[in-house]
Structure 1
Amino acid sequence: MMSDTAVTLFLERVRADGHRPALRLLAAGGAPRDETLTWRAWAERARAFAAALVANGHRPGEHVAILAGNGLEWPVADLGVLMAGGVSVGIYPTSAPGQVRQVLEDCGAAFVVVDTAAQLAKVRAVRHDLSGLRTVVATEADGGMDVIAWAEWMAHGEAALGGVPEIGHTLAQRTNDASPDDTAILIYTSGSTGEPKGAMLSHRTILASAASIRDTLGLHAGDRSLSFLPFCHSAERIFGLYTRILVGMEAGLVPDHTRVWKAAEAFRPTLFGGLPRFYEKAADVLRAERLTAAGDERDRWERTLTLGTERSRLRRAGQPVPPGLEDAWRTAGATLNDRARALFGGEVRLATSGGATLPLDVAEMLDALGITILGGYGLTEHLCAVFNRPARYAFDNAGPPMPGTELGIAEDGEVLLRRGALTFSGYHGRPRETADAFTDDGGWLRTGDLGRVDAHGALRISGRRKELIALSNGKKIAPLPIESALAQDPWIHQAMLYGEGRRFVSALLVLSRPELESWARRHAADPDDPSVVHDPRLYASIQAAVDRINAGLSNPERVRRFALLHLPFEGDDLTPTLKLRRAVIAERHRDRLEALYQEP
């Protein structure tokens, strides 16, 4: 029988590969110890979790929330919820108590699973507001009467399966009764422009998306990947969890994302998927090694990068790489290429990046060292939109459509995606917002992004429709491409444009730490002193960088004034997917921004 739900897909994988490792919890990734689950063991635990749900009164279609990091509990609970006929809802582990309340209240979760005392405290702080929440399961239960310990919950499920035949029959019936169009999971959008909404993804969407990803990247059962991005995010849930189930890939679970490099060394993934920041850190390590190299080693660096850059240019243009160039690059860069690969575990064959624009200099440097990073574009509501391919890729566009996706461009430049199996079903409990997400005829998903399709069929994103800055003269500015260009300058780490209702565009600029330290040494300044950003000599250097970017912009787009920041945008300044929370940042730095519009 062909799989038509995420549960039947999972059970088919278990029947085919039950003895093979499926999940490996990594001590190198911050876990207390290494632990491996085979596909069959994963299924047995998930079924025990599902049995405990049914024994505790869970009804088909009820929502179960998971507030946890990347440990074994997440995939066990997630599949258990689906086996019980429920809807699985992820909550970001970094959420504040108020945000936890918001999600639990919006989805009406009857059960919630938490994995640490800190997460349990968040739920307890808001539980009095949640009349529908019946049960809290905690892996680090403290003996309180208001929670059930994970071990006790799982033992309860196992006992129910062994001693109450009706429980097993109920689970089998719920699996058989599930429809491909039933909602399987809710993924809450990050809320950079408003209140988070729960995007409903059906079993059909999950299976179609996983197949599109497999076919786009050429994945196979021999591949291995790390799981360190939050499971509650669409990328890790679909590109990660369910695609791994479809393909039969083994996953290394990394509870502490700051340990990802140690985890890669231990697990040796063949596929590495991450956000741009992870690749920036890898490039920083390699740049530092290049700067300290001397003599023959320095010459080797320069020759490898020169040859590798030309090789990359040809590959991106779809042109053959002459055998002489390929041999010279491999000979000159053998040790350096191995060093770059070692950062990712030594066996990576595919690397992907999403969530934000990967800086061009990072992509080009890593590609010159043999680490090709494939970028794409998608959104929670239609994750598998466009993607670059291993055999034909570019760094200045998001790639052509993925299998099952049709692109369109509206008259105002908004990117549209044809509604189909890859598209979400709507926002939970929000019919008006669901209707607004589509064109008037309901046939196309409105992405909110501006872009165009180039002559090769690749999508080029130019900005965010909802994030356009409307100047007082009526001109509208797309901030994202300008911010990306600014951040590619060696002096600038992050940039945020500002100017809604103003007569010109201004910017908040976060300085690159290496450049700041280098400048401070030359000028006998203290890079750790926050007041260093007010030094006129430093300002002059940054002005030159801004002028370089402005030279390629139209007059209304040019950054006329800017303020320098000593500390990066982080924490509340960013969404869980590392997008700028513009309103939060603008309010935090209101005085500095206002000063930019005062006459000298």
Structure 2
Amino acid sequence: MENSPLPAQITINGVQFNATPGQRPLRVDGCVTICQLFQSRCAELGDRTAHREKDLGVWKSYSWADYWQHAKWIGLALRQLGLERGDVVSVLSEDRKEWAWFDMGIQGIGGIASGVYTTDAANQLQYLINDSGSRFLIVEDEEQLDKFLEIEDEVPDLLKVIILEDEGLHELDHPRCMMIEDLYDIGKQAEAENPGLFEAEVALAKPQDTALLVYTSGTTGQPKGAMLSHENILAAIESGARALPTLASDEQLCFLPLCHILERDVSVFYPLAGRCTVNFAESPETVFANLQEVSPSTFTAVPRVWEKIYSQVQILTQDATPLGRLAFGMALKAGLARAEYLTSGKPVPAGVAARYWVWDHLVLKNVRRMLGMDRLRRGGSGAAPISTELLTWYWAIGVPLVEGFGMTETAGLASLNTTEENRIGTIGRAVAGNDIRISDQGEIQLKGMNVFQGYWRNNAKTAETFTSDGWLRTGDLGHIDDDGYITITGRLKDIIITAGGKNITPAEIESRLKFSLYVSDAVIVGDQRKFLSALIMIDQENVEKFAQDRKIPFSNFASLCAAPAVKELIGAEVATVNKEFARVEQIKDFRLIDVLLTAEDDELTATMKLKRGLVEKKHAHLIEDMYN
């Protein structure tokens, strides 16, 4: 009797994928490129809502038909103005529906979309435009336009700047600038004169064509442009759909910069497969209010955001009545007991489940409702390490928060925990179609269809990033357990070798410090030194409340950091963390960074990660003070 042939495809939540992960050509609902999938979805879903965005305080809906029509006008207009296949278009804007429209319009016509962080200075914009050879620049408003005007003579190859908002610019008359409505008019005329041209261009795209140019955050040296093909992105879509599926009924909130591959995946590419609705936050400052309004089904954020939400709950708890604090403490205790079983894959005993049910109905449901997480099916954390204590706390309040790992160079995804198979303290298992190994030096290395094509115009750096047998070097140290779960222990370049010859990876110590209510971030110092020390950023909101409650005088952030009681507070937090580590790993001294850092400061990346080398350089006087 002959064996039955294996199925060519499998269906996950109504989306068809190749039955074998990583099989070429990779097809998502029969499509081999992002722009083909976009065309298919818009034709299928038509008047269904694709995006929501606030206008004068009111949420407004925009359909998949709107999505297609505007992307088509954008693509045709850019072609009319001189964009050729393989040319780059840079987008300098906060998250909004037009970001996605431009992304699809650029790709549809054969161009390459490249995002620029709105926190970048004019000289950084100049570097990115010239390095990428961008032919067009999309700017959100007058503030971002000013950056171009400052460097316009230094970017001679840029053909046009397209402006999304005209407020304050009604009198603008510049030969290289135009408003978005004028671009739409060009697109409409081009469509009338060449019906079917955009569809024909979409059909020309090939899986190996470069679709995106995503610049790394530049924690060391100038940013490098990672080239991601249509196939790379479809591989990430497939892996995400298999492990953490997006449902057609899901509501999502887009708020991380769309320049970053994590948010691009979550809010542009995964919704193409999952058919869900994306709500755009009004601004980075309104994220928590928008989260309450939208109450999303899934929510993916960097650790700094999850830490901030946790801090808000702690502040509210401190301000509650004695009875309220007691009730929350009892509810949290019941939640932690249940979380211990859930996060270890064990069945929850009936008594533990019953006690949690009671406290969930009395307290925890209201907490989740207050946070805008009452409908949350799954939370995700990535882009930086998150403390195990924080993950456990979220599971305890009824928010299943899972950690994953990815890089720009892996189209944002390489390994994942899931709500069903989750091992806290790890970054999960390799996603479908991805292989992970540990080198002899302990480095995590990757191979898969999601791995990027290389760095734009930088063959030397590309060669450095791959091993001789074709595996991607992540630069992360780690190990894999017998069940396939991967643990990151640190960064190769961050290893501290003390004067006594001890090798120490600082990531775990820093992560434990950041779980403190009063610590926002920390950098462990000690290379070639006799002991470890730390540069610490305090959590402004929580430390200010601590000072106000105790009538500790301060006039600004610097004076707050200088207050003896604040130094004692942080010292106590450091002492608590020290108890968890061996003597050689303990922090013997610390200094507070008394400058309030934002993403606009050089020391922080746009995803709020400290640039270790730059922090140590800028605050060298603090370090020397500790060791002298």
TM-score by length of 2: 0.89
Deviation at 1:54, TM superposition (A): 1.3
Q: Tell whether the 8 Å contact from 1:213 to 1:239 is kept in structure 2 after alignment.
A: no
Q: 2:207 aligns with which of 180, 189, 210?
A: 180
Letter in 1 for 2:421: R
- Residues 1:15 and 1:519: Cα distance change in structure 2 (over 3 Å): closer
Alignment of 1:407 onto 2:436: yes
Q: Please state whether the residue corresponding to 1:333 is helix, strand or coil.
A: helix
- Deviations 1:78-136 (CA, angstroms, capped at 9, x unpaired): 10001111111111111111111111111100011111111111112112111211111
Deviation at 1:519, TM superposition (A): 6.0
Q: Tell whether the 8 Å contact from 2:434 to 2:449 is kept in structure 1 after alignment.
A: no
Letter in 2 for 1:401: A
Give me the CA root mean square deviation: 2.2
Q: Tell whether the 8 Å contact from 1:492 to 1:509 is kept in structure 2 after alignment.
A: yes
Q: Tell whether the 8 Å contact from 1:139 to 1:149 is kept in structure 2 after alignment.
A: yes
Corresponding residue for residue 3 of structure 2: none
Corresponding residue for residue 124 of structure 1: 149
Corresponding residue for residue 397 of structure 1: 426
Equivalent positions of 1:474-489 (< 5 A) are 474-489=501-516
Alignment of 1:211 onto 2:238: yes
Alignment of 1:424 onto 2:452: yes
Task: Measure the CA separation in 1 of the matches of 2:617 and 2:338.
Answer: 46
Q: Tell whether the 8 Å contact from 1:50 to 1:83 is kept in structure 2 after alignment.
A: yes
Please, which moves more after superposition, 352-361 or 589-598?
352-361
Alignment of 1:256 onto 2:286: no
- Residues 1:140 and 1:567: Cα distance change in structure 2 (over 3 Å): same
Corresponding residue for residue 77 of structure 1: 102
Alignment of 1:338 onto 2:368: no
Q: Tell whether the 8 Å contact from 2:92 to 2:116 is kept in structure 1 after alignment.
A: yes
Q: Tell whether the 8 Å contact from 2:478 to 2:486 is kept in structure 1 after alignment.
A: yes
- Deviations 1:234-283 (CA, angstroms, capped at 9, x unpaired): 00111321000111011001130221222223323111111222222222
Deviation at 1:510, TM superposition (A): 2.7
Please, which moves more after superposition, 134-143 or 175-184?
134-143
- Residues 1:486 and 1:116: Cα distance change in structure 2 (over 3 Å): same
Task: Measure the CA separation in 2 of the matches of 1:389 and 1:334.
Answer: 25
Alignment of 1:450 onto 2:477: yes
Task: Measure the CA separation in 2 of the matches of 1:230 and 1:519.
Answer: 32
Q: Tell whether the 8 Å contact from 2:544 to 2:560 is kept in structure 1 after alignment.
A: no
- Residues 1:151 and 1:320: Cα distance change in structure 2 (over 3 Å): same
Equivalent positions of 1:196-275 (< 5 A) are 196-275=223-302
Task: Measure the CA separation in 2 of the matches of 1:67 and 1:531.
Answer: 36
Q: 1:494 aligns with which of 521, 530, 534?
A: 521
Q: Please state whether the residue corresponding to 2:404 is helix, strand or coil.
A: strand
Q: 1:545 aligns with which of 565, 573, 576?
A: 573
Task: Measure the CA separation in 1 of the matches of 2:94 and 2:546.
Answer: 40
Task: Measure the CA separation in 2 of the matches of 1:120 and 1:32.
Answer: 25
Corresponding residue for residue 357 of structure 1: 385
Task: Measure the CA separation in 2 of the matches of 1:237 and 1:251.
Answer: 12
Task: Measure the CA separation in 2 of the matches of 1:567 and 1:331.
Answer: 45
Q: 1:465 aligns with which of 492, 512, 522?
A: 492
Letter in 2 for 1:597: Y
TM-score by length of 1: 0.93
Q: 2:180 aligns with which of 140, 145, 150?
A: 150
- Deviations 1:302-337 (CA, angstroms, capped at 9, x unpaired): 221111100000011111112332222122221422
Q: Tell whether the 8 Å contact from 1:494 to 1:569 is kept in structure 2 after alignment.
A: no
Q: Tell whether the 8 Å contact from 1:269 to 1:347 is kept in structure 2 after alignment.
A: yes
Task: Measure the CA separation in 1 of the matches of 2:350 and 2:368.
Answer: 22
- Residues 1:222 and 1:473: Cα distance change in structure 2 (over 3 Å): same
- Residues 1:284 and 1:562: Cα distance change in structure 2 (over 3 Å): closer
Alignment of 1:578 onto 2:608: yes
Please, which moves more after superposition, 497-506 or 36-45?
497-506
Q: Please state whether the residue corresponding to 2:592 is helix, strand or coil.
A: strand
- Deviations 1:403-435 (CA, angstroms, capped at 9, x unpaired): 1111100111111112x2111111110111111
Task: Measure the CA separation in 2 of the matches of 1:46 and 1:102.
Answer: 27
Task: Measure the CA separation in 2 of the matches of 1:291 and 1:597.
Answer: 37
Task: Measure the CA separation in 2 of the matches of 1:87 and 1:518.
Answer: 47
Please, which moves more after superposition, 34-43 or 312-321?
34-43
Equivalent positions of 1:40-51 (< 5 A) are 40-51=65-76
Letter in 1 for 2:184: M
Please, which moves more after superposition, 571-580 or 332-341?
332-341
- Deviations 1:545-567 (CA, angstroms, capped at 9, x unpaired): 33443344345433222213345
Alignment of 1:100 onto 2:130: no
Task: Measure the CA separation in 1 of the matches of 2:304 and 2:584.
Answer: 30
Q: Tell whether the 8 Å contact from 1:83 to 1:174 is kept in structure 2 after alignment.
A: yes
Please, which moves more after superposition, 392-401 or 40-49?
392-401
Corresponding residue for residue 10 of structure 1: 38
Q: Please state whether the residue corresponding to 1:435 is helix, strand or coil.
A: helix
Q: Tell whether the 8 Å contact from 1:272 to 1:344 is kept in structure 2 after alignment.
A: no
Alignment of 1:139 onto 2:167: no
Please, which moves more after superposition, 561-570 or 137-146?
561-570
Task: Measure the CA separation in 1 of the matches of 2:618 and 2:324.
Answer: 46
Deviation at 1:297, TM superposition (A): 3.4
Task: Measure the CA separation in 2 of the matches of 1:17 and 1:368.
Answer: 38
Deviation at 1:473, TM superposition (A): 4.7
- Residues 1:172 and 1:16: Cα distance change in structure 2 (over 3 Å): closer
- Deviations 1:365-412 (CA, angstroms, capped at 9, x unpaired): 322111121111111111221111011223311111111111100111
Q: Tell whether the 8 Å contact from 2:476 to 2:488 is kept in structure 1 after alignment.
A: yes
Task: Measure the CA separation in 2 of the matches of 1:239 and 1:533.
Answer: 37
Corresponding residue for residue 469 of structure 2: 441
> Is there any run of 5+ residues in structure 2 with no aligned partner, and where?
1-28
Q: 2:399 aligns with which of 350, 365, 371?
A: 371
Please, which moves more after superposition, 573-582 or 529-538?
529-538
- Deviations 1:329-374 (CA, angstroms, capped at 9, x unpaired): 1222214222232212532111111122223443333221111211
Task: Measure the CA separation in 2 of the matches of 1:522 and 1:347.
Answer: 35
Q: Tell whether the 8 Å contact from 2:373 to 2:399 is kept in structure 1 after alignment.
A: no
- Residues 1:537 and 1:100: Cα distance change in structure 2 (over 3 Å): closer
Alignment of 1:56 onto 2:81: yes
Identity of aligned residues (%): 29
